A = this chain, B = another copy of it.
Amino acid sequence: MSRLRVHSLAISLDGFATGEGLSTEAPFGHAGGRLMEWFFPTRTFVEASGHEAEAQGPGTRGIDDAFAAASWNGIGAEIMGRGKFGPQTGPWQDDSWRGWWGEEPPFHSPVVVLTHHPRPDFAAGETTFLFRDASPRDALALATELADGLDVRLGGGATTIRSFLDEDLVDHLHLVVVPIVLGRGVRIWDGQEGLEGRFSVEATASPSGVVHYLFTR
């Protein structure tokens, strides 16, 4: 049975998954890189990004890396909101933006991009981006078919994840609470009163200062 999984969604203490003022230069807005500082030193990130030469070494293998690495196990497709694919809004001016990830994106699988403004699908390396104006349920049906028996990762952002939580489609939710107070941005918790009733919830603190939460069912 294919499951829908969210991994490594970083939020501030006050629940913001991204800040205000998103742009090409500031994909997390005023949050900057602070929500992902726990992630950058991990071996999983270092290897995926090819930054080993620049990093202090081959990357950490501790608690944060254990959670980061789990994101890639048994995933056959991803669903993401248009806001994760790029900072543009409204109709596409042209098709020149091909995502943040260069010509070999780390997904190595089909990626369904949810957008009210579809554009032609394209392939980059082993990743295929499909642009669909679809409901959460229909997007999941498509991604599940593309995943061919493996699980589907729900990649974010927060608004997209909330829309899938609203439909009770999420089976696994890994949140990383970063000890900062952002004050503004997009909240993951809006409209989620009583969420804990549908999941087992466990938490563990990492020496890096973040707290990993797993919501599983």
User: Which A residues contact B (CB, under 8 angstroms)?
Assistant: 13-15, 177, 179-184, 187, 189, 191-196, 201-205, 209, 211, 213
Contact = CB atoms under 8 A, between A and B. Distances in A.
Nearest to A196: B180
A15 to B, nearest CB: 6
Contacts of A184: 193
Given A181-B194, A194-B183, A209 B201 contact: yes
B196 A181 contact: yes
Chain A, interface SS category = loop
Nearest to A14: B189
A134 to B, nearest CB: 27
Task: List the 4 closest A-B pairs by CB distance, nearest first.
Answer: A183-B193, A14-B189, A179-B201, A181-B195
Contacts of A179: 196, 201, 203, 213
9 contacts: A13-B189, A14-B15, A14-B187, A15-B15, A181-B193, A181-B195, A183-B191, A183-B194, A202-B209
A196 to B, nearest CB: 5
A201 B204 CA distance: 15
Given A14-B15, A15-B13, A192 B183 contact: yes
A181 B213 CA distance: 13
A180 B181 CA distance: 19
